[in-house]
Amino acid sequence: MKNVDMQMHVRGTSQFVDDLAAPAGCLHAALVTSRVARGRIRSLDLAEVLAAPGVVAVYTHRDVPGLNEVGHVLRDQPLLAVDQVEYIGQPLALVVAESHQAAWQAAALGRADIEELPAVLDPREALAQGMIHGQKRILVSGDPDAAFQTCRHVVQGRLASGPQEHFYFETQRALAVPTEHDTIKVHASTQSPGAFHRHLAEVLGLPMHKVELDIRRLGGAFGGKESTAVWVVAPALAAFLLKRPVKLVLPRNHDIATSGKRHPYEYDYRIGLDEEGQILAYEVDLYQHAGACADISLAVLGRSFLHASGAYRIPNIRVRAVSCRTNIPPNNAFRGFGVPQGTFAIEAAVTHAAEVLGVPAAQLKRKNLAGDGDVLPFGMVLENTNSGRCWETLDARVDLAARHAAVAEYNRTHTDSKRGLAVVPVCFGISFAQTALNQAGALVNIFVDGSVEVSTGAVEMGQGVNTKIQLVAARTLGIAPDRVRVHTTNTSRVPNASPTSASTGADLNGMATKYACEDLLTRLRRFAGQHLGHDDPEQITIREGVVHLAGKPTELRWEKLVAAAQWARVDLSSHAFYATPNLHLDPKTERGRPFAYYSCGTSLTEVWLDCVRGTYRLESVEVVHDVGRSLSEVIDRGQVAGGVMQGIGWSTVEQLRYAPDGRVLTGANAYKIPDLKSLAPHFAVTLLENSQNPNAVCNSKAVGEPPLIHGLGAWFAILDALRSVRRDKDLPSLPLTPEKVFMYLHG
């Protein structure tokens, strides 16, 4: 089934936050932000701001009625700075004006007298100075020190991966409308209904039942709208203080300059193998470049940490991970949530080892591929991974040996250009690693005309979760999907909802929807039995909107059944709740089963490299991914293709630059995301056939994040081509922009 919003999207009638008709008297908010990366605030001079045309009010931390705090996990992020600044772009004051333009022009006039302190912009330096968030984490499995002694080959190196800007098309925004009894309604572009609801209430000093957060759809999010609440809370604060509607729409360059990114990491790795290429030991240090506040960084770090072994069976391992506090805007969630970084390190280590052993990297990867029955470093036993089957399916489609031979032959006969390839296996744990977040509620209402309305905590951001939920409801109730409408995500209908993230939106909210529908179905079957003069509800089913008795259709249709049931005083509304069972992780021992299941796949990426100019082009991307029994193949294929392209962007062209003072230099004109010419001439997605998954709704598997990892294939394929030219250099960093490729070749 198609995305339910598509008809509106092509007509231009779908509504995002900024498309809602502005309420009468609506004002616009903007932020005065710090131009200094680190320092003590002596004073703020906001007189010019207040005097600027159209300005209605200017607020500082002193005007916050509740808690001046929006830290997502730790309480370390003031909404408006108090006495110190920790990054360029940190909000100092809130400006409210008659128009968007007036507000942002006035905000630029804000001045702060700040005693500058030396900013720390390097994660290793931050660590050396003891500037870290939370605690270092260490995971040891087996005996790596002893194992390294027995290795025939030991390979080590240093690596780095860069930040990635989300570049969701709809920037951060919210519209806040004061309502009666000192309540407030906020329409926001956020993935986190429950957490942002709480942030709003805390900052306004209100009980949560006086705040209503409503979310229709997001113009993309990719993790960037999960944890940083500033841009939703700020307009609500202004609306609450002024008793007028206030909207904040972050201008693109302000969004790029002040919002969080995918975390840059630095890595030290060491890998040991035996004569046959079996990995015996692996050791990795992960230095996360987290930014000024903890935001959600420790959770991201945790996921890198738990995925340090990537898709491989590694009997002896030591992982050390630390979140380094640096003076850049706090980095946050981005599709993959630390797994791409953890995977990058082990993929690089295995690739480096293959070079030393003189064998194709794919050979080592296949040999060490983790599969069912293998134990992960934190003690979880893999099951139902289909990792080997994904690999074999890919091999059957592309003939890996032949592809390797073709690349080798090309490279033997060409000097000014080279080809390269990479096989990347993906193994991605599904569930929030924080067990408490694995819960969801759903409210399903059946109206007397037979129409059905579903509310959940899931946020539609283009990933098609509403369509999947609609399908689950229709399938469970035995009616056509067009009888079901998925309502906005609203904190008054479904409270305390977890963020729509960690690829779990459909898993959790779909299951809660299924339970609520099953509950309603039980009531309706019982009633239908009585209505038809038949006592055994087991004999009653509903199929295609018709009540069946003992498998045969009756005269009783859905809308008649529903109307009669309501008249007979049957409750046609149900709320249900789902909590993923059997999840646990002991933070002391770093052992447990934090994930419900794994999402696996394998891909082949091939590139062509111009050795003179340093330019390259992707020739072919072939992806095989396991999505279980897909809830919607159309949606899942789209998720795979889009995720892979984002991973390719991170690996190749997306480069964010900071000035020496910590300013982000790359605005919308300089930060490049993939365009239509980035699409490889051959790009194919295969969903693994005959896959079942008892651990998620309707046997499906989550699809949102894991495919992004396949995009790493672009980096490794370019590397493969580069290493066929010269190997007398260290591995370059990620992304491999044409500039870096040129410098590698000729520098």
648-667: contacts with another protein (CB under 8 A)? 667
Residue 16 engages another protein in binding (rule: CB under 8 A): yes
Residue 50 engages another protein in binding (rule: CB under 8 A): no
Q: Count other C-beta atoms under 10 Å from residue 459's C-beta.
A: 29
Which is closer to another protein, CB of 11 or CB of 181?
11
Contact 96, 245 (CB under 8 A): no
CB of 230 to another protein, least distance (A): 20
Which is closer to another protein, CB of 440 or CB of 618?
618
Residue 108 engages another protein in binding (rule: CB under 8 A): no
Taking every pair of C-alpha atoms in the chain, what is the biggest distance, in angstroms? Answer: 86
CB proximity list for 497: less than 8 A, separation 6 or greater: 193, 194, 440, 441, 456, 457, 458, 489, 491
CB of 687 to another protein, least distance (A): 14
Residue in the block written with tokens 């080809």: 419
- Pick from 183, 253, 492, 539: which binds another protein (CB under 8 A)? 253
Which is closer to another protein, CB of 168 or CB of 598?
168
Residue 584 engages another protein in binding (rule: CB under 8 A): no
H or E segment to which residue 606 belongs: strand 597-610
Catalytic one of 212, 590, 705, 739? 705
Residue 213 engages another protein in binding (rule: CB under 8 A): no
H or E segment to which residue 156 belongs: strand 153-161
**18: DSSP letter:** G
- Pick from 379, 545, 638, 738: which binds another protein (CB under 8 A)? 638
Structure-derived torsion over alpha carbons of residues 540, 541, 545, 547, reported in degrees to the nearest 10: -20
CB of 27 to another protein, least distance (A): 14
Which is closer to another protein, CB of 338 or CB of 704?
704
- Pick from 679, 725, 733, 742: which binds another protein (CB under 8 A)? 679
- Pick from 498, 646, 691, 737: which binds another protein (CB under 8 A)? 646
Report phi then psi at 653, rounded to 5.
-110, -15
Structure tokens at 400: 């890996």
Which is closer to another protein, CB of 101 or CB of 149?
101
Residue in the block written with tokens 């074999």: 392
- Pick from 59, 87, 148, 167: which binds another protein (CB under 8 A)? 167
Partners of 97 in beta bridges: 28, 55
Distance CA 685, CA 196 (A): 36
Residue 170 engages another protein in binding (rule: CB under 8 A): yes
CB of 462 to another protein, least distance (A): 3
**170 catalytic per annotation:** no
CB of 642 to another protein, least distance (A): 5
Distance CA 353, CA 356 (A): 5
Residue type, 100: H
Residue 702 engages another protein in binding (rule: CB under 8 A): no
Which is closer to another protein, CB of 315 or CB of 464?
464
CB proximity list for 157: less than 8 A, separation 6 or greater: 268, 269, 348, 349, 352, 730, 731
Residue 231 engages another protein in binding (rule: CB under 8 A): no
Distance CA 745, CA 729 (A): 10
Which is closer to another protein, CB of 223 or CB of 360?
223
Query: What is the three-class DSSP state of 113?
Result: strand
Residue 488 engages another protein in binding (rule: CB under 8 A): no
CB of 191 to another protein, least distance (A): 12
CB of 55 to another protein, least distance (A): 15
Residue 24 engages another protein in binding (rule: CB under 8 A): no
617-636: contacts with another protein (CB under 8 A)? 634-635
Contact 549, 540 (CB under 8 A): yes
CB of 452 to another protein, least distance (A): 24
419-478: contacts with another protein (CB under 8 A)? 461-464
- Pick from 417, 615, 678, 699: which binds another protein (CB under 8 A)? 678
Residue 675 engages another protein in binding (rule: CB under 8 A): yes
**325: DSSP letter:** E
Q: Which stretch binds another protein (CB under 8 A): 55-63, 200-208, 248-256, 695-703?
A: 248-256
Residues found in the chain: 747
Task: Judge if the upstream peptide bond of residue 495 is cis by omega within 30 degrees of 0.
Answer: no
User: 480-483: long-range contacts at Cβ-Cβ below 8 A with a sequence spacing of 24 or more?
Assistant: 480/544, 480/545, 481/1, 483/450, 483/451, 483/452, 483/545, 483/558
Question: Assign residue 261 a region: left if phi > 0, alpha if psi is -120 to 50, beta otherwise?
Answer: beta
- Pick from 111, 252, 485, 629: which binds another protein (CB under 8 A)? 252
Structure tokens at 234: 């700020």
Distance CA 26, CA 741 (A): 50
Which is closer to another protein, CB of 133 or CB of 217?
217
**Which of these, 556, 476, 559, lies nearest to 520 by C-alpha position?**
476
Which is closer to another protein, CB of 13 or CB of 129?
13
- Pick from 677, 689, 690, 728: which binds another protein (CB under 8 A)? 677
Q: Which residues bind another protein (CB under 8 A)?
A: 2-3, 5-16, 18-19, 21, 101, 166-170, 217-220, 222, 251-253, 461-464, 634-635, 638, 641-646, 667-669, 673-679, 683
The residues annotated as belonging to the active site are 705
